[in-house]
Structure 1
Amino acid sequence: MTSTAPFRAVLQTLLSGTALLLSPLAHAQQEEAPPAASSEAPPADEAAPTPVPEQAKPETPKPQAPEKKEQAWYDRIRIRGYTQFRYNRLPSFRVNDALVNDQGDRFLGKNNGFGIRRARLVLFGDVHDRVSIYLQPDFASVLGDQYNVTIMRDWYADIFLDAKKEFRLRVGQSKVPFGFENLQSSQNRLPLDRNDGINSALKDERDLGVFFYWAPDEIRKRFKYLVDSGLKGSGDYGVVGFGVFNGQTANRAERNDTPHGVVRFTWPFLFGSQYVEAGVGGYYGRFNLSASPRDEAPYALVGGSNQVDARAIVSLTIYPQPLGFQAEYNIGRGPSLGEGPVEGLLIDSRRLRGGYAQLMYKLDGVLGVSLIPYVRGTLYEGGKKFETNAPLYDVRELEMGAEWQLNKALELTGTYLISDRTSSRYPYIQEQGHVTRVQLQVNY
């Protein structure tokens, strides 16, 4: 029998070589292939060890938002103002140096040249979500024979009673809500001075008191638009306004224990594409005055020094788009001298009436600027309670002019005034004359 030992030796050698050649490939397959799932759970005592996690990398700290600081009240305050430079000695058809108006333009009359009619600086803003302030001094007031004296015009706080700011109280010295032109800022008004018929009610338009105002949010925005758009609005004094005030007018001490009461209703609305505003109002109180003899004239008070002071007013404004119309008329009673040799020495609460009517036309884009020509007629018959001895006035005036809005910072106004009015200086006689005036207004 043939021996197989040599054959087995050769076969073993071939198998060993083949195993060496295949071992790298098998090793690679073992690394790539996932471990086979076992159908049997490992014994409890042979549970797989808990894997050791890799060392955690430290996280980069996220930048923290800076802590929001509450804005200080003084950072909320803003500033604005305007100045009116005036010259009244331009040539006129009929000049009368005895024609004066101490309530209005102090630069009328002889020996007057350039003057600063108003120099206002306004500080205003919200010092709280429900409280705002408004502070306005005038650096060009007149006291006696001294000009450019600083006097407080407005100094009040608005206290809002709701989140939408539709209801508010105004506390301090501010404009009394009576009429339209009285409330309209001199920065926006076309004529250089307010009319005697309405302005005779409240010297400087202001007094110390507390007033309540209400207007829906939509109408408050409309009031703002009528000012910001150059349509000569009066500002936001509410759809409804009422309150109580001293009654002796601004920067004067109260002289009795009977405050004045005032109420006003107004509504700006669209008539087609044109804005229209209509309003009514009135006030009642007692004004305290004293008689002062002049040239031995024995002026006397009838019924005492606290005399009835009451008025009712109607107002209509059709805003210039481009044609506009504005008119107001008031009637009432107030302290006044009478007429005649006897009544002319007695100061009593007497009837009064007066107002004005004004036409205007707004031209935009004329030589690159806005031009608004206007004409206004004024009538007033009644006393001036805040002047010495409350002289009886008879005022009839016609003023025509035009305002050029050169840019937001500059306005130039030229006017021609035809006047027949009682003099504010004793012996209170009628004076007639014509005056040509020019005014440069700087807004800032």
Structure 2
Amino acid sequence: MSSAYRPVFQALLSGATLLLSPVSLAQQEPASPPPTAEPAQPSQPPEAKKEKETPWYERIKFRGYTQFRYNRLPSFERNDDLINDQGDRFLGKNQGFGIRRARLVIFGDVHEHVSIYLQPDFASAIGDQLNVAIMRDWYADIFFDAKKEFRLRVGQSKVPYGFENLQSSQNRAPLDRNDAINSAFRDERDLGAFFYWEPAEIRQRFADLANSKLKGSGDYGVVGFGVFNGQGANRPDRNDTPHAVARFTWPFLFGKQYVEVGVAGYYGRYNVSTGTGYTTQGDSNMVDTRAVASLVIYPQPIGFVAEYNVGRGPSLGEGDENTVVASRPLHGGYAQLMYRLDNVLGISFLPYVRGTLYQGGKKAETNAPRYDVRELELGVEWQILKALEVTGAYVLSDRTSSRAPYEQEQGHLTRIQVQVNY
């Protein structure tokens, strides 16, 4: 190559080297991988998202009912001295319209393992003052497992004894609870701790029986047991001996009809109150114990309920001991037959008849008077709307008066109740 072209050739080489150097560098460096999307998180089921996102106070619900009564309709044999303070304070002379119950229930899950149930009654009485607000239920259920099969109930609640005692007055066809079983506990409730268990499918069955027109008692477990003060709802404990209770019940399908059988019993010592002229035999903390057997055939359409209990409890005696309170034998029960007609003049029409027998004391009343009750009630419950029910009843009664000197009274009652559900 001539010396004249050498400078030009060197310049071309230098330029080519500069142009090719980025390509060679790119070939030496590994290529960056393409961007990849982050793996999607597994989606939660809708229930879990709702549980996580919904504040507890938005899971609280409200419901309730009010019962308006009138007990002075004409009857064949009226007796103004025929009263039943435990059942209905609007019985007897100088009575008119009354609000028997005015309930508002606040309930719901505040946590996946904790639910609450709060129920005040705005139609209670203290002395001569009517329509006073008082606490009926105030408890929490603490669940130990995800299926909610095991739980502990703490607070003031119904004592698991019998069937009708546990059945809500909103569902019960007769206007008042029977004396034989209801005399076990004042207001059916007490303050304590109760353990309940039932399989998940039976828990759902209890809900179906209570929430339909079958008039179930609600969910108090297949097995229930616990301890409680023993003096009754909204009363302080008056001794150091708590009551203990245990109950077993089983609802099952017999053919096309639901049937439930159960047994229960309790034991404790009850502190009795006495008035002037009455005494106790020995210690005022008296043995208080009972056992009950229950049979329920749910109305599909024919229904039948029977319960009977025996035991001992505080009671006045007879004859020369009619002013002495002691722990004495008691027994009694009831049987009820009903027939449900659906879509008749509204949602349902349910005629019923119930007979009650009881001989024994009522420990929660001053002096624990001894009762002798024979009563027959014929009635019909007419549910016009989901929010409106009317019940009429005719009662033939032979019972001990609730007030001293506790004389036996006979007579008839014609009663009507209007119930509003909300």
Q: Provide the TM-score with structure 2 as the length reference.
A: 0.88
Aligned sequence identity (%):
75
Q: Using the alignment, how far apart are the partners of 2:290 and 2:126 within structure 1? A: 28
Give ranges in structure 2 of 5+ residues lacking alignment. 1-16, 28-48
Paired position in structure 2 for 1:317? 296
Q: Using the alignment, how far apart are the partners of 1:228 and 1:154 within structure 2? A: 19
Q: Please point out which of 366, 371, 388 is paired with 1:410.
A: 388
Paired position in structure 1 for 2:261? 278
Cα drift, residue 47 of structure 1: 8.6
Matches within 5 A, 1:13-32: none
Q: Give, as a single letter, the amino acid of the residue that structure 2 aligns with 1:240.
A: V
Give ranges in structure 1 of 5+ residues lacking alignment. 1-42, 52-66
Paired position in structure 2 for 1:93? 76
Mapped contact 2:346–2:385 kept (Cα < 8 A): no
Q: Please point out which of 214, 217, 220 is paired with 2:197.
A: 214
Q: Give, as a single letter, the amino acid of the residue that structure 1 aligns with 2:281.
A: V
Secondary structure (helix, strand or coil) at the match of 1:191 reads: coil
Q: Please point out which of 380, 388, 391 is paired with 2:366.
A: 388
Q: Using the alignment, how far apart are the partners of 1:417 and 1:315 within structure 2? A: 23
Cα drift, residue 70 of structure 1: 3.7
Paired position in structure 1 for 2:149? 166
Q: Using the alignment, how far apart are the partners of 2:274 and 2:409 within structure 1? A: 24
Mapped contact 1:326–1:358 kept (Cα < 8 A): yes
Secondary structure (helix, strand or coil) at the match of 1:210 reads: strand
Q: Using the alignment, how far apart are the partners of 2:20 and 2:134 within structure 1? A: 99
Q: Please point out which of 185, 190, 193 is paired with 1:202.
A: 185
Q: Using the alignment, how far apart are the partners of 2:380 and 2:413 within structure 1? A: 15
Mapped contact 1:290–1:301 kept (Cα < 8 A): no
Q: Using the alignment, how far apart are the partners of 1:90 and 1:368 within structure 2? A: 25
Matches within 5 A, 1:143-154: 143-154=126-137
Q: Give, as a single letter, the amino acid of the residue that structure 1 aligns with 2:77.
A: R
Q: Give, as a single letter, the amino acid of the residue that structure 2 aligns with 1:312.
A: A
Mapped contact 1:263–1:283 kept (Cα < 8 A): yes
Q: Give, as a single letter, the amino acid of the residue that structure 1 aligns with 2:264.
A: G
Q: Deviations over 1:115-166 (max 9, x none)?
A: 1000000000000110000000000011111111111000000000111100
2:279 aligned with 1:300, yes or no?
A: yes
Paired position in structure 2 for 1:54? none
Secondary structure (helix, strand or coil) at the match of 1:366 reads: coil
Q: Give, as a single letter, the amino acid of the residue that structure 1 aligns with 2:403.
A: R
Cα drift, residue 429 of structure 1: 0.3
Secondary structure (helix, strand or coil) at the match of 1:231 reads: coil
2:349 aligned with 1:371, yes or no?
A: yes
2:341 aligned with 1:358, yes or no?
A: no
Mapped contact 1:302–1:347 kept (Cα < 8 A): yes
Q: Using the alignment, how far apart are the partners of 2:131 and 2:332 within structure 1? A: 31
- Give the aligned CA root-mean-square deviation in angstroms: 1.8
Q: Provide the TM-score with structure 1 as the length reference.
A: 0.84
Q: Please point out which of 212, 227, 233 is paired with 1:229.
A: 212
2:410 aligned with 1:427, yes or no?
A: no
Q: Using the alignment, how far apart are the partners of 2:65 and 2:367 within structure 1? A: 34
Cα drift, residue 229 of structure 1: 1.7
Secondary structure (helix, strand or coil) at the match of 2:318 reads: coil
Q: Deviations over 1:254-293 (max 9, x none)?
A: 0000000000000000000000000001000000013211
2:172 aligned with 1:189, yes or no?
A: yes
Q: Using the alignment, how far apart are the partners of 1:387 and 1:123 within structure 2? A: 30
Paired position in structure 2 for 1:338? 317
2:327 aligned with 1:349, yes or no?
A: yes
Q: Using the alignment, how far apart are the partners of 1:119 and 1:90 within structure 2? A: 23
2:154 aligned with 1:175, yes or no?
A: no
Paired position in structure 1 for 2:112? 129
Query: How many residues of Structure 1 are paired with residues of Structure 2 in the alignment?
Result: 382
Paired position in structure 1 for 2:14? none
